[in-house]
C-alpha cells in the first residue's frame, strides 16, 4: 500500500475543475483504490441539493482511472512522471445499481477493484468493480469498463 500523505490527486487524473470529482486518495495499491469526495453546492452535478446519478458515475470512473492511470503517471521507482497526457473513457457499463444520491455537504467514499485488466504498449482496457458509500449507505455498485491511453504531450 502506498503512503498517501502529500499525494496530489491531479498527479493521477487528467481531470481539472470543474470536472474533477475526487478530492483525495485514501488507499492505493496494485489492485484497489479508494477515494473521498465532498459534495459542494457549486458542483456541476448537483441538482436540487443532491449529487445526481451522472455525478456518481463520473466519480466512480475517476476513482477507477486513478489506479489504471497510475502506471502512466509513475515510473518504476514510484516517482511522479511530469508532462504525461492520458485520455480515458468509460467503454462500457456492465452492471450498475444506484440506490441513493448524496446531499450537498456529504462526503462519499468510492472503492474500486480490478476484475480484469488487459495492457498493451498502446492502451489499457479493464473491468473495475465499484462501490460508493456515504456513511454506511451504499449509493452505487457495479462494474464498468475503462479504456486509457497515453497521448503525445500537448505543446505550449
pLDDT in tens, 20-62: 999 998 998 889 999 999 999 999 999 999 999 999 999 999 9
Tell me, yes or no, whether 4 lies in a domain.
Answer: no
The CATH number of residue 142's host domain is 3.10.129.10
Supply the pLDDT for residue 72.
Answer: 67
1 in a structural domain: no
Domain that holds residue 137: 9-151
Mean of the per-residue pLDDT values of the chain: 86
- 74 in any annotated domain: yes
State the SS3 of the chain.
Answer: CCCCCCCCHHHCCCCCCCCCCCCEEEEECCCEEEEEEECCCCCCCEECCEECHHHHHHHHHHHHHHHHCHHHHECCCCCECCCCEEEEEEEEEEEEEECCCCECCCEEEEEEEEEEEEECCCCEEEEEEEEEEECCEEEEEEEEEEEEEEECCCCC
Closest CA to 94 of 126, 54, 124: 126
pLDDT at 73: 63
In this structure, is residue 156 part of a structural domain?
no
* 7 against 28, higher pLDDT: 28
Query: 89 lies in a domain?
Result: yes
Q: How many structural domains comprise the chain?
A: 1
Q: Residue 78: its pLDDT value, please?
A: 64
pLDDT in tens, 72-127: 666 666 666 666 677 778 999 999 999 999 999 999 999 999 999 998 888 889 99
Amino acid at each position: 500500500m502506498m503512503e498517501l500523505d502529500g499525494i496530489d490527486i491531479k498527479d493521477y487524473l487528467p481531470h481539472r475543475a470543474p470536472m474533477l470529482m475526487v478530492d483525495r486518495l485514501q488507499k492505493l495499491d496494485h489492485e484497489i483504490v479508494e477515494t473521498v469526495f465532498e459534495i459542494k453546492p457549486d458542483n456541476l452535478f448537483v441538482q436540487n441539493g443532491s449529487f445526481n446519478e451522472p455525478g456518481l458515475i463520473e466519480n466512480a470512473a475517476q476513482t477507477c482511472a486513478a489506479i489504471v492511470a497510475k502506471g502512466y503517471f509513475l515510473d518504476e521507482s514510484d516517482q511522479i512522471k511530469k508532462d504525461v497526457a492520458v485520455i480515458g473513457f468509460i467503454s462500457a457499463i456492465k452492471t450498475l445499481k444506484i440506490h441513493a444520491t448524496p446531499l450537498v455537504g456529504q462526503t462519499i467514499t468510492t472503492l474500486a477493484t480490478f476484475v480484469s485488466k488487459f495492457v498493451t504498449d498502446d492502451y489499457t482496457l479493464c473491468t473495475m468493480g465499484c462501490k460508493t458509500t456515504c456513511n454506511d449507505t451504499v449509493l452505487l455498485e457495479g462494474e464498468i469498463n475503462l479504456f486509457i491511453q497515453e497521448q503525445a504531450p500537448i505543446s505550449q
